[in-house]
Amino acid sequence: MRVIDPQDPPDTAPVFPVELPGGTVYRSDDLDVYRAGVNSVFYPARLDLVRPHTHLTHARLSAVRLSHLTLGIVHFGAEVLIDPGDVGGYHINIPLSGAVDSRCGAQQTIATPGHAAVFTPNEHTILPSWSADATQICIKIDRGTLETELTHILGRPLDRRVKFDIGLDLTTPPGRRWWSTLQILVDTINDPGPIPRRVLAAQVDLLERALITGLLLNHSHSLTEALHADDTPENPRALQKVVELIESTPGAQHTITDLARVSGVGARQLQKLFRDRYDMSPSVYVRSVRLERVRSDLLTATDDTATVSDIAYRWGFNHLGRFARFYQQKFGEPPSHTLRR
């Protein structure tokens, strides 16, 4: 498969890229049929023709679901409007040709070859005009994976979602590095060579996470400043004692007084240390660690009798309604969906 350089002029881009192997292919100029195919791969969305008395022309979708990403190459052959609303996760559109008016919340950009669009959860996403000649690489990113990768980079749990700038310039050095990683991933999927299946799966998984990490490090978002901040606490030993206790026994019902006693500083000073270092209170830190442990157990559950409530109680959540709300906010899906997956 040839993926074009983002600086190539649009007329050099292949109109219909080669299909992604092992995935799903839809070819239909029937709007209802094609809409159903696109929605099943990505998100339920309103999808309509912008101009009356027009129709899809050689519409085509080739998509493959990986461990952390869904990759799709999408062409309509007519100007369309797409309105998925809140996509619930993170998403990137990269035009290979044409132009796409792209909006997310209050942000707007025109995506063109060399200029991608990045969408954020909990914001209204809408594409008022996907041009008739536009073909895009569409990347659906697992929200939990992205936020877990950022947690590892920051060295602390997240207490809020990441909000990206919508415009991603692929012609800058950081943008080109990210684009190169995508090219390697697509080439690996398309032509794996004689690599054993289990080795290929490990390689693809690594490239997926490298692509997500590269996006976090090379594109501006709401926590970019935190990535580059000098966040050494004034009393690192006191903080370390508390963090070690929380990480080792996140399900225990520690009060702020208990944590302060372990740290050797007062409760107010401990609160300040957590705010300065992690931008959250000790209680929010505890909750974030618990949610991560719950998600891990839900994803790895092999016992058919495992239940969300049992796992939640195991990690210290005593109110299932509040737990479910916090889980949905953090991972973008109900805990029951994670368990079924």
Q: How far apart are CA 96 and CA 114, in angstroms?
A: 8
Q: How far apart are CA 293 and CA 64, in angstroms?
A: 29
pLDDT score of 9: 36
pLDDT score of 276: 85
User: Where do the structural domains in the chain lie, given as residue ranges?
Assistant: 10-224, 236-340
For residue 330, the SS3 value is helix
Q: Which is it for strands 46-49 and 80-85: parallel, antiparallel or unpaired?
A: antiparallel
Report the CATH superfamily, name and number, of domain 10-224.
Jelly Rolls (2.60.120.10)
- What would the pLDDT profile of 225-246 be if each residue is shown by its tens digit? 887 765 555 678 888 899 999 9
For residue 83, the SS3 value is strand
Whether 204 shows a pLDDT value over 80: the answer reads yes
Alpha carbon 11 to its chain's center = 31
Q: What is the mean pLDDT of residues 318-328?
A: 87
Cα atoms in the 13 Å half-sphere on the side-chain side of 77:
15
- What would the pLDDT profile of 75-123 be if each residue is shown by its tens digit? 999 999 999 999 989 999 999 999 999 999 999 999 999 999 999 999 9
**pTM for this entry:** 0.70
CATH class as words, domain 236-340: mainly alpha
Cα separations in angstroms, 296 against 19, 286, 289, 312: 34, 16, 11, 11
Average pLDDT, the chain: 86
- Closest among 111, 61, 114, 113 to 91, alpha carbons compared: 111
Q: 52-67 burial string, b = 16+ CB within 10 Å, else e?
A: eeeebeebbbbbbebe
- What would the pLDDT profile of 3-33 be if each residue is shown by its tens digit? 444 444 333 333 334 567 667 888 999 999 9
pLDDT score of 109: 97
In percent, the amount of the chain with pLDDT more than 70 equals 91
Whether 260 shows a pLDDT value over 90: the answer reads no
pLDDT score of 111: 97
Whether 304 shows a pLDDT value over 50: the answer reads yes
Q: What is the mean pLDDT of residues 315-334?
A: 87
Q: What is the mean pLDDT of residues 190-211?
A: 82
Whether 331 shows a pLDDT value over 80: the answer reads yes
pLDDT score of 98: 96
Whether 36 shows a pLDDT value over 80: the answer reads yes
DSSP E strand boundaries for 142-273 = 167-169
- Residue 32 burial (CB < 10 Å; 0-12/13-18/19+)? exposed
Q: What is the mean pLDDT of residues 176-202?
A: 83
pLDDT score of 1: 42
pLDDT score of 50: 95
Q: What is the mean pLDDT of residues 114-141?
A: 96
Cα separations in angstroms, 312 against 210, 251, 309: 31, 9, 5
